[in-house]
Amino acid sequence: MAIAKRSTDISNVYATVIASSGDYTLKFTGNQSDIKNLKDAEDYRADYINMMKKGKEKGFLHFLKIDGIELYKLHKPLFSSTIKVQKKSLTPNGKVECQ
């Protein structure tokens, strides 16, 4: 969020995480003026740990419940140059939905 807040071109604000459970990309699609009261990473730690108990994707999406942030999972089969991009979001009842 700090990067998006300082960016002059928010259409190109992405962050990619490579994890043991897969590769994910976050994209900022919101408005910079909506970014307020940013905290240090340590201030989010307890909430993050609590949310992740719900499961990796589900917990992360609940933790990220911020308008203007989208989560994508990248699928790249072994020995292939084709990457499938799958948008992940929460349904109104809190389950992970793949688009």
Q: Do residues 63 and 56 make contact, with C-beta atoms less than 8 angstroms apart?
A: no
pLDDT tens, residue by residue, 16-66 = 988 888 899 988 888 888 777 788 888 889 988 998 898 888 888 888 876
Q: Report pTM.
A: 0.76
Domain extent at residue 30: 2-98
Label residue 85 by pLDDT band (50, 70, 90).
Answer: very high
Instruction: For residues 81 and 10, give the distance between their C-alpha atoms in angstroms, rounded to a whole number.
Output: 28
Burial category of 58 from C-beta neighbours within 10 Å (exposed 0-12, middle 13-18, buried 19 and up): middle
Using CA atoms of 50, 52, 55, 56 in order, give the dihedral in degrees to the nearest 10: 180
Angle 41-52/56-63 helices, nearest 10 degrees? Answer: 140
Q: What total of structural domains would you count in the chain?
A: 1
